[in-house]
Amino acid sequence: MAKPKKPAPPKTPPVATDAPMRTLDDIDASRGPARVKALRDKFAKALDDPDMREAMARYLQTLIREEK
């Protein structure tokens, strides 16, 4: 004997928000280049440390292995 199906819950209407829609023009991209430069500097300093180089190489190898 087949079980009767449960009725689907009633759909709720979308909630209206008071926040206006944002567009791509609203995003402040001026900080991007500075953050990229800071990350490059930090990465370059980390490469000067031999222990950090080994740790980074191991980490990248595990990432490559997980991709397959």
| DSSP state letter for 24 | G
Q: What is the pLDDT of residue 14?
A: 66
Question: Distance between CA 7 and CA 46 in Å, rounded?
Answer: 59
Contacts for 53 with CB less than 8 Å, ≥ 6 apart? 46, 47
**Which residues are CB-contacts of 56 (< 8 A; sequence separation ≥ 6)?**
46, 47
Whole-number pLDDT of residue 49: 87
DSSP-based helix, strand, coil % in the chain, nearest 5: 55, 0, 45
Rounded average pLDDT per 10-residue block, the chain, 68 residues: 74 70 76 86 85 87 83
pLDDT of residue 33: 87
At residue 8, the pLDDT reads: 76
- The predicted structure's pLDDT at residue 16: 64
pTM across the whole model? 0.38
